[in-house]
Amino acid sequence: MSGQGEQSQDVVDAKPSDNTDAKPSRGASAGKFPVTTGDGEPIMSAEEFFADEYKMDYPQRGRAIIINNREFDRGLGLGERTGTDQDASSLQMRFMDMGFEVDLYNNLVAGEMQKVLVKAAADDNYNRISDCFACAILSHGEEGVVFGTDAKIEVKQLLEPFKGNNCKGLLGKPKLFFIQACQGMQFDSGVNVNAVDAKGQMELERQITVHKIPSEADFLIAYSVVPGFYSWRNSANGSWFVQALSDVLAKNWRDMDLLTIMTRVNKKVAYEFESKTGKDFMNQKKQIPCITSMLTKEVIFKPKK
């Protein structure tokens, strides 16, 4: 038990590398100032910083990048991703409807994928007047990686340019990534559930100076499937995940927060899709997306006036 005279302080749950105390940025540091970056550059008002919703009334909604990889080098042994053009077209229309400036790229090698995202993150003037940033990657993948047309690249490498310490123009703003790709080679056979209705019948303002925010904050990464499993795609209609995402966004983006939207997407993929193939061992398989959120506020895409 701590002694009565011991001072309160924040510490990390690990062996410290030095004797520096981790002190909260509150209390004596309070003042009527805008929130600032670590170097003292103002980025938003204190009122905006402490709001429960992200500010969505900047001059621009922001940039949305779609990377649509359909064909791959033969040496990779990866098949053509038929149906992905339908995904790309669907997302392009949806992002445009939501007010994004959309850039669509087809069949990029891994190095080009990284260059496109580095360039977008570095466009400081545009990012400063934008609500947020969005990116959809449609490709083959494995756990933690996606494929360019020539080689694999780690997802974390693609996200790195947008972290707070690298991308000041999007600091404190949502960075949204939607990744349609396999994350492994397992099949999900699902579990039977009997749903019973009620009758028993069966049927299916405070202002304070804050000097830092975590560089990893304000990201949402939505994977089409949980780690270790295949992600399904229909050769005519596109992937299950993007079909569901496009449909739920179309109905709800104007007034529903993004995490609730993504929960609806999870439900739609889980309940409404089941594989039908010419191979028995691949039939009647299921899928569930996986949402990783480091968001600190609600994302609500209010229509631009």
Report the CATH number that the domain containing residue 68 is assigned in CATH: 3.40.50.1460
Q: How far apart are CA 99 and CA 242, in angstroms?
A: 19
Location of structure tokens 């080098």: 73
Q: Which residues pair with 22 in a beta bridge?
A: 10
Mean pLDDT of the chain: 85
- Per the residue annotation, which of 132, 135, 140, 167 is the catalytic one? 140
Residue 2 is predicted with a pLDDT of 46
Domain membership flag for residue 22: no
Domain membership flag for residue 300: no
Domain membership flag for residue 6: no
Residue 204 is predicted with a pLDDT of 44
pLDDT of 242 > 60? The answer is: yes
pLDDT digits (tens, 9 = 90+) for 288-302: 999 999 999 999 999
Taking CA atoms, 84 is separated from 87, 180, 192, 220, in Å, by 5, 9, 30, 22
Domain membership flag for residue 303: no
Domain membership flag for residue 17: no
Domain membership flag for residue 27: no
CB neighbours (10 Å) of residue 3? 5
Q: Are 118 and 160 in contact (CB under 8 A)?
A: no
CA proximity to 155, closest of 238, 219, 63: 219
CB neighbours (10 Å) of residue 108? 19
DSSP 188: B
132 annotated active-site: no
DSSP 8: P
Q: How far apart are CA 83 and CA 90, in angstroms?
A: 11
> Terminal CA-to-CA distance of the chain, rounded, Å?
57
135 annotated active-site: no
Domain hosting 88: range is 51-204+213-293
The share of the chain scoring above pLDDT 90, in percent, equals 70
CA proximity to 43, closest of 218, 233, 232: 218
Domain membership flag for residue 15: no
CB neighbours (10 Å) of residue 151? 15
- Per the residue annotation, which of 132, 135, 167, 182 is the catalytic one? 182
Number of folded domains in the chain?
1
Q: What is the average pLDDT across 79-98?
A: 97
Location of structure tokens 């202002």: 207
Domain membership flag for residue 150: yes
Q: How far apart are CA 178 and CA 192, in angstroms?
A: 29
Residue 43 is predicted with a pLDDT of 63
Residue 198 is predicted with a pLDDT of 53
